[in-house]
A and B are shown apart, each in its own frame.
Chain A
């Protein structure tokens, strides 16, 4: 095979056995890769009702056909598992260099199953793979683990590891790769910890074979040139300032979540947004594999109580650990970000859970003695402490480690958790951005912005602008973009490049560039329509898994703060999210019943029956 390696690595932790098997070419064609392979194997092999921490749950780490190639941003992989935070599917996406190295080792995916008696790590050296003891690494930070794995295997190995948070089954623990890149959402790291798998180290043995190198190169050059031409005099804001520049768009629209979504504007935004980060702490921009944008931030806090260095913060972190906790101290939130990276925590859910606790405290439902400290809005030092306590499940941290929904429910106010299906929202308040509300409510993993991000057209002007306050026009757009994101994730590409350069620049975003690159790499002869259909197939397959896990229409919902409490101030003042008005037409155009169940005809059309 080309583009695809054609080989899956299967790791049975219970028996301590590693085997390989062939990738079925029909599965490859229909599901493309990465996120597509994740849901294909999850549906085939993991009981949707299983205990996420039990040995019967599996972790599927899968790359796409373009991962590890020279395609712009061919850097990504997706980790799919049943989430301990939500009980739903989660598929979390990350870049860096580990995914490309996985492909170069000759594998499209690693399926991790069972549970090891004792801590182990997996060492994949080209075509050879083995499990090695990792008791000596248990308790170590992600950075320490990465360094140790490289020392013990190969100095050029790339790694994906968990920190203490994953070991302690914090329900939103991340898998960290290449230091500070995170497959962050919904507890993939906790599942790895429950399996006693501390990390994976991979060393490639060759290059990804291409079906038609000349056609691939021609397409690759053309899309890179288009990027260069556009950015020659105007460097991409993501390179200059990182994703934290996005605060400008959300604050100006009044959808920058503040104090647990009580407001959509943050008075301290200027102290924490991208340009301030660049001025105060930026050391250099850091790209993922084969990426011309380089949105990653290597930063240093030169002095003060939070002095340190690391990577970040990204936009989502600036929202979650910043505005949403009322923190306008960039040093404190950056330090909290470093701690999350080293301990292996999702910054979004960490911040969202602290914000929820701060609101419970503000309302007098949670006392300082219960929390072990006062939880005042804006207390950066408390925030940094709480991150460590959560990862170690120390004191009140043990409660935070269960996430915002369980925390809010424990204190009698579950509706104060800003979640969809138990997963914390990203940094966009759907009251002033209607399409985002529909996207959160129908995302197969819960409150994520990366399952079809309407912020592009509602806030950021990509590819064009649509009024963020209207709702009747959103269902077809959200469905279209959800399917597109399936395609981008399945191909192994990064959304940030793809939405501007590899799809037609109108709201229908036909994936012509992605198709061209996929064909050059795989020789599959896809049409853009077939690729779009594959995206729809992946999205529907994820929906089927969700339904089989016990979710239904009533879980396609948002908290009452979003649907019934009008935004109190700012440009979105007076608005609520019109989710109910959007859901019925959305289901209908997806070919789903009024209960949100894909029809037989739709499933037959997609080959999912």
Chain B
């Protein structure tokens, strides 16, 4: 299945294309943890993950067409 991904700030560096906006193909039933693994984001690099604008934890299952947003924890605005 395919999901749409947008990665920001330092997490952009993990995008396959070098651009922060890309489509990713994952196995049916893949989770957020699988997506993190597919992008090779190490455990030491913190990432907040949103799926369709809602917070998702590592075990959250993804569905085809989901919009995934990745950004580092931020100290504020």
Contact = CB atoms under 8 A, between A and B. Distances in A.
A274 B44 CA distance: 24
Contact of A248 (B10, B45, B55, B69): B69
B53 A461 contact: no
A460 B74 contact: yes
Contact of A467 (B55, B72, B74): B55
Interface in B39-58: 44-46, 48, 50, 52-55
Contact of B71 (A235, A248, A468): A248
A503 to B, nearest CB: 12
Label chain A's interface by main secondary structure.
helix
Contact of A275 (B8, B48, B75): B8
Contacts of A495: 76
Given A234-B45, A571-B54, A461 B73 contact: yes
A507 to B, nearest CB: 14
Output the residue of B46, B50, B73 with the most chain A CB within 10 A. B73
Nearest to B55: A465
B76 A455 contact: yes
Contact of A252 (B44, B53, B77): B53
B70 to A, nearest CB: 9
Nearest to B13: A234
Contact of A453 (B45, B48, B76): B76
Size class of the B contact interface (CB-based, 8 Å): 20 to 34
A462 interface: yes
Given A240-B9, A254-B53, A462 B75 contact: yes
A6 interface: no
A467 B50 CA distance: 11
Interface in A449-488: 449, 453, 455-456, 460-462, 465, 467-468
A358 B48 CA distance: 35
Nearest to A265: B53
A456 B71 contact: no
Contacts of B53: 252-254, 570-572
Nearest to B69: A252
Contacts of B54: 571
A243 B77 CA distance: 5
A235 B10 contact: yes
Contacts of B8: 237, 245, 248, 275
Contacts of A460: 48, 73-76
Interface residues of A, number: 44
Contacts of A234: 10, 45-46, 72
Nearest to A239: B75
Contacts of B77: 243-244, 246, 249-250, 314-316, 427, 449, 455
B48 A237 contact: no
B14 to A, nearest CB: 11
Chain B contact residues: helix, strand, loop or mixed: loop
A293 interface: yes
A241 B76 contact: no
A517 to B, nearest CB: 18
Interface string B5-49: 000111000000000000000000000000000000000111010
A465 B46 CA distance: 12
Interface in A519-547: none
A496 interface: yes
A496 B72 contact: no
Nearest to A464: B73
A252 B74 CA distance: 14
Contact of B9 (A275, A453, A455, A468): A275
Contacts of B10: 234-235, 237, 240
B74 A571 contact: no
A95 B10 CA distance: 26
A244 B74 CA distance: 11
A499 interface: yes
Interface in A130-160: none
Contacts of B45: 233-234
A474 to B, nearest CB: 15
A495 B44 CA distance: 24
B50 A238 contact: no
Contacts of A293: 75
A184 to B, nearest CB: 14
Query: Which of A248, A449, A496, A497 gathers most chain B CB within 10 Å?
Result: A248
A268 interface: no
A257 to B, nearest CB: 12
A500 interface: yes
Given A465-B55, A571-B52, A237 B76 contact: no
B74 to A, nearest CB: 5
Contact of A236 (B44, B52, B69, B75): B75
Contacts of A241: 9
B75 A252 contact: no
B17 to A, nearest CB: 16
Contacts of B9: 237, 240-241, 245, 248, 274-275
Nearest to A229: B44
B75 A499 contact: yes
A432 to B, nearest CB: 8
The 10 closest A-B pairs by CB, nearest first: A571-B53, A246-B77, A315-B77, A461-B48, A461-B73, A496-B75, A237-B9, A252-B69, A243-B77, A460-B74
Given A234-B45, A250-B77, 17 more contacts: A236-B75, A240-B10, A241-B9, A245-B8, A246-B74, A246-B77, A248-B9, A252-B71, A449-B77, A453-B76, A460-B48, A460-B73, A461-B74, A495-B76, A499-B75, A500-B75, A570-B53
15 contacts: A237-B8, A237-B75, A245-B8, A245-B71, A248-B9, A248-B71, A249-B77, A252-B50, A254-B53, A274-B9, A315-B77, A460-B48, A461-B74, A465-B48, A496-B75
